[in-house]
Amino acid sequence: MNNKRKVIRLECGDFLDMRLSDKGEKIRGEVRDFSLMGICFSSNKNWVKGQDIYIDYFMRDELDAVRMRVEIIWSEFIDPDRGYFCGGKVIAIEEDKREVFRQYYYRKLEERT
């Protein structure tokens, strides 16, 4: 199998709040896996390919969420209980939290080995 990914995706059960605009209604979701470049998550809302959304990513060991902007790459309905699985490309990460998110990723990577 030819895997084109350049960074390792890490499975997790973190949660996130999503919204269409910076001040829009929050929709809760769960992270399935993530990397420094992208994120796969579940949502009860069907996000549309090409749509930019704002995400507050809650890391288990941190007090504050990391705000990021993500472009939806794909969205697939799974079933009524789990809703949609969505994949997104990280476009921007809150500048003063970039290092926190990067360290979280590396810590998860170390736990994996």
Distances (CA, A) of 8 to 69, 106, 111: 20, 10, 13
* pLDDT (tens digit per residue) in 68-103: 999 999 999 999 988 999 999 999 999 999 898 888
Cβ(42)–Cβ(12) below 8 Å: no
Which fold would CATH assign to domain 12-112?
A: Thrombin, subunit H (2.40.10)
Domain boundaries, the chain: 12-112
Q: Name the residue among 37, 34, 46, 50 with its Cα closest to residue 84.
A: 46
φ and ψ at 21, to 5 degrees? -120, 170
> pTM for this structure?
0.83
